[in-house]
Chains A and B, each alone.
Chain A
Amino acid sequence: MNTPAWFAAARSRLLLLAIVLLANVLVAPGFLEVRLVDGRLFGGIIDILNRGAPVMLLAVGMAPVIATRGIDLSVGAVMAIAGAVAAATVNAGHAWPVAILAALGTGLACGLWNGVLVTIFRMQPIVATLILMVAGRGIAQMITQGRVLTFTDAGLAGVSSASLLGLPLPVLLALAAAIGTGLLVRGTALGLFIESVGTSPRAARLAGVPAPALLIGVYVWSGLMAALAGLIATADIRGADANNAGLWLELDAILAVVIGGTSLYGGRFSIGLSVLGALILQGMRTCILRSGLPPELNLLLMAVVVALVLVVQSPACGPVLARMTARLTRRGTA
């Protein structure tokens, strides 16, 4: 992976993140300060990492799915279901580890459902996962019986509020998931298989790549990541809100992966760049919130930035940019 192309891709995303952070500094001069209070770090950067954790997790699950030429629209709804299951489990008197396992198991089951629809029944991924996106909120509402299901269990709430080595647990979970998934796909042949199935399904099959198992696997993994994100969201408000937990976050996750350079036509993907994409999105959101601009502007500005990123990445733009860069460099050296 240490190819120059990968390096260039990482550099441009880091540059974008730096610009977003700079904007944050301009809006709130104390943004870069980090303070240690009661053994936990506080500050603007930590805030972005902490608030961005759910979308980072979703992006980690979404990137392999998109690389296989698929998409998972259900992750927001799976977050709501997993949160509802966790809250209902502790409220039924079970210990918090049981609740967490139940929520993660639910995520796996949701992913398996998506994977089976896509792989065995050959549904188009966008339709197959749309089913759970729509039905999932209903399922979550049935579990919470239409209310915000609050809980007092400190263990479950700790998924969001606990900290380790000064870092909030959600940040650690997201980073661990990203590093773990990255090692899993690049340390084994999974990455190669996913990219070959996404680029050319027929060639991959004839070369002996076990495409069906692989496809089910990526949806199961996406479901698991969504459940983890759902636990964080639920622990955050100490309650399961079937209507609002993870609402529209599937779109953020897809954007993060796309900003990370993965094409919706499948093929090459990078977990690290997708996580960077999630952080860029969260950085922009934080910046607008802190600037005191009306929050409606948030969506508009995000759309503009995303459109810009995609235009810059588009094949039509490549030669133009190359010429401009060449001209700038010439002027710089002259």
Chain B
Amino acid sequence: MGDTASMVLAVRGLTRTFPGVRALDGVDLTLRAGEIHALLGENGAGKSTLINLLTGAQPIDDGTIHLDGRAIRPKNPADAAANGIVAVYQEITLLPNLSVAENIYLGREPTRFGLVDRARMRREGSALLARFGLSIDPALPLSAFSTAVQQLIAIARAVDMSARVLILDEPTASLDSAEVAVLFRLMRELAASGLAILFVTHFLDQVYTVTDRITVLRGGKLVGERLTADLARLDLVAMMLGSLPATESHLQRRTAVAPGDIVVQVTGLGRRNLVSPFTAEIRQAEVLGVAGLLGSGRTETALLLFGAVRADTGGVLVDGKPVTLKGPRDAIRLGFGFCPEDRKLDGIVADLSVRENIVLALQARQGWWKRVPPARQRALADDYIRLLNIRTPDAEKPIQLLSGGNQQKALLARWLATRPRLLILDEPTRGIDVGAHAEIILLLEELRNDGMALYVISSEIEEVAAYADRVLVMRERRQAGMLTGAEVTPAAIIDAIVRPVDGEPSGRAA
């Protein structure tokens, strides 16, 4: 890390705590002038929190930020921008109904005699955009341009606000490959002019194409900083997913029951522009693990299987008979349950009590007319609170007041109350404290041993390797492999995640 001369941004021990979760835990980050630096990690790794602290969108609990050797503590995004730290997000945060020039100078319009000097704004806007290779009329409304151009305009605005540090948060997610190439050329030019660029993405190819250095976060902690050229793709994925290919798993397999008959057979289930057809069978008393990076299509397989999104090809057999999955209600009727990845938005019903959240799926399956009697509701809730060790003073507490781990347990209880045959879990242990984490893993193993079929998506590779009987590996929205028996090891899973699909070269791709 030596040369302090070119060091623009030095972040040391940055910490941010939310109730029950340490979102960022003593993270260091060093950005150098003229460098494009990738910030990588799975969902919940702490990338967004780090950006929010750097831009002052959230207050810092502990740690320091030095910009050009000067200690700063951004109070809000405007303060961060005044200091020279500006972020451009995937969702463009400009105003589509205003003109391009108005957007560029929003909040800092050039004035003349106290009035906005529109002519000057257009002139200077035009000159600025020309530097970014855009010859467009700045008087036109922003909405007249493509997402890619809007993205470039947002970057132009950011850089023009005398940025020293430019943060690009998933800027390529909605761009096509030609537009990405334009963006990358611009990024290289900006870096060459002495800017430090922090680039957040989940496309590993892009990391190897454009970045000089990589910082990886996992679970709110710093995993490490590496030179891109020195880091093999396999090792990078291992850093992100928390396992070194060579090391043996410290978790012991506890297979007590042999898998039984096939419960659900998925054949060529897919949907255009979402996930290519995939095939898998899930047996009684079996955990089918699903591994893959963020954006690999792993969540989409669950959405199709649960009917939350309708497939346009392939089908599903339950007990050997074809079934229709037009919506979650069909899946629930077949005895499926689904704990989604985004607990807050898709899982809990925040205002309702723990009891009401637990009985919701059972009640929905019974229909509105046959209400679960209040006494039975209380008994169900109390039973699950005890069985799953849900820490809440009582069942009538609004679920939003519980910690993430206890919310997750209540959601598991919601599905267990319906006595499902197949339980689909998307990242069941994400963002929850260590104790609850271990309890949930134990619970999954118990459920498996009781004969339930489980479909568990997880980015915790070591865990998946420990409890899954087979592992479906997803890569670039395609099935990249199915590991069985002795093949289920962290090293093999990571290898399958990284292994090219059609013989494209792995490692440093240009």
Contact = CB atoms under 8 A, between A and B. Distances in A.
Interface in B326-340: 327-329, 332, 338, 340
A205 B328 contact: yes
B231 interface: no
Interface in A203-222: 203-210, 214
Contacts of B349: 195-196, 199-200, 203-204, 207
Contact of A192 (B345, B348, B363, B396): B363
Interface stretch (B35-43, B367-375, B499-507): B367-375
Nearest to B346: A202
Contact of A207 (B360, B366, B368): B360
Nearest to A5: B396
Given A188-B371, A193-B368, A208 B348 contact: no
A3 B351 contact: no
B466 interface: no
- Chain A binding site: helix, strand, loop or mixed by DSSP? helix
A199 B332 contact: no
Interface in A282-324: none
Contact of A196 (B352, B366, B367, B369): B352
A210 B348 contact: no
Contacts, number: 78
Contacts of B350: 199-200
Contacts of B332: 208
A268 interface: yes
A210 B372 CA distance: 16
Contacts of A190: 368
A207 B414 contact: yes
A277 B474 CA distance: 56
A199 B348 CA distance: 10
B339 to A, nearest CB: 9
B364 interface: yes
For chain A, which range describes its interface: under 10, 10 to 19, 20 to 34, or 35 or more residues? 20 to 34
Q: Which of A203, A208, A209 has the most CB of B within 10 A?
A: A208
Which of A188, A207, A267 has the largest count of B CB atoms less than 10 A from its CB?
A: A207
B345 A207 contact: no
Given A196-B360, A200-B345, A206 B368 contact: no
B268 to A, nearest CB: 24
Nearest to B363: A189
B356 interface: yes
Contact of B328 (A188, A193, A200, A208): A208
A194 to B, nearest CB: 10
Contacts of B347: 203, 206
Nearest to A4: B396
Nearest to A267: B351
Nearest to B366: A189
Given A189-B372, A196-B349, A200-B350, A206 B329 contact: no
A192 B360 contact: yes
A122 to B, nearest CB: 16
A203 B348 contact: yes
Given A195-B351, A199-B351, A207-B361, A188 B338 contact: no
16 contacts: A188-B368, A188-B371, A189-B369, A189-B370, A190-B368, A193-B363, A193-B364, A195-B356, A203-B349, A204-B349, A205-B328, A206-B308, A206-B328, A208-B329, A209-B364, A267-B351
Top 3 A-B pairs ranked by shortest CB distance?
A: A208-B364, A208-B332, A267-B351
Interface of A: 3, 187-190, 192-193, 195-196, 199-200, 202-210, 214, 267-268
Interface of B: 306, 308, 327-329, 332, 338, 340, 345-352, 356, 359-361, 363-372, 396, 414
